[in-house]
Amino acid sequence: MTGLSPRMRAVRWAEGLAPNVRGALWMLVSALTYTAMTTLIKFLGDDYPASLQTFYRQAASMVVLAPMMIKDWRGTFTTSRPGILLFRSGAGVVAMTMGFYAVQKMPLAEANALSFTRTLWLVPLAAFVLREKLGLLRIGASLVGFGGVLLMLRPEAAGHSGFTIPQMAALASAFLFALTITGMKVMTRDHKTITLLAWAAVLGLVFALPPALLVWRWPSPMDLTLLAAMGVLGVVTQACYIKGMQIGDAGAMAPIDYTRLVFAVLFGLAFFHDIPSPVTMIGAAIVVGSTLIITWHEQREAKKAKAEAAALEV
């Protein structure tokens, strides 16, 4: 490897690693960039409301995806189900705005932990929307997971009789994201990935503009740089996550995504002096454990169905 540039040596070194190891590295980068993005969301939250930050996030997606959309715009935007794409984009913008609001108003670790409940929400949605059979394991894991959520939120310990608005926003955001994921499962049967991304970027920007105008303020050059960085980090997070899932086995990659909870604790402590309580961390551990069980079960069932299909072909 003498005479090779540092970049080429890094590429050769990465190619020599096992697929799951390479996938795990991509997932770690995704977790780190996601935490950096949420840190900027919280840092800028005092001056830029969640709806305005959502607009800048969508604008960044448009800039990144524009070259691919322009290359074959007719093929990219061809769809037989515009109604579902409209609904997905609208729900996605509302989910993102609520998620940003929760990050601004809650400790990073708690907001991140509640975002993991999207996997729990997918269980009932899979039954009602996709007509999937759930089974006792998935139902039981979901109930235990939501028990962990209640332990984390514990309104009586916080001195009030109900959940706070940021907590409700975090849970609503996770539910809406689960709804968009369910819609994506339906659409991927006959739509290309770039089509889903392009529609989400364009419609998302359109839907994000009106609420952003209600709280509009022109950012200073430094704030504009940070807002742009926040948007780009969101796109990089998504790209790294997809890359990691493509390279590694999904069942092995899912646990790596939960490292962002560790990063959230460290970033929250370093930048905002947030110290999660032991009960919050126990509740978060229950949520993470439940979602891992659901992910493991779904991967096992998928492999089983694939093996049965292969046996029938023989």
Distance CA 271, CA 39 (A): 8
Tell me how far CA of residue 199 lies from CA of 65, 77, 90, 184, 312, in angstroms. 11, 7, 11, 12, 38
Domain contains 9? no
If one counts the domains in the chain, the total is 1
Domain contains 55? yes
Domain contains 17? no
**Helix 250-257 and helix 259-272: axis angle, to 10°?**
20
Could you tell me the residue range of the domain that residue 64 belongs to? 24-313
Domain contains 1? no
Mean pLDDT, each 10-residue run in order, the chain (314 residues): 57 63 87 94 92 92 86 83 87 95 92 86 75 77 85 61 82 90 72 81 93 93 92 86 77 76 90 87 87 78 70 61
CA 46 to chain centre: 23
Domain contains 167? yes
Domain contains 198? yes
pLDDT per position as a tens digit, 55-96: 998 998 888 888 888 888 888 888 888 888 898 899 999 999
pLDDT per position as a tens digit, 209-224: 999 999 999 999 999 9
% helix, strand, coil for the chain, step of 5: 80, 0, 20
Domain contains 3? no
pTM assigned to the model: 0.82
Q: What is the CA radius of gyration of the chain?
A: 20
Domain contains 131? yes
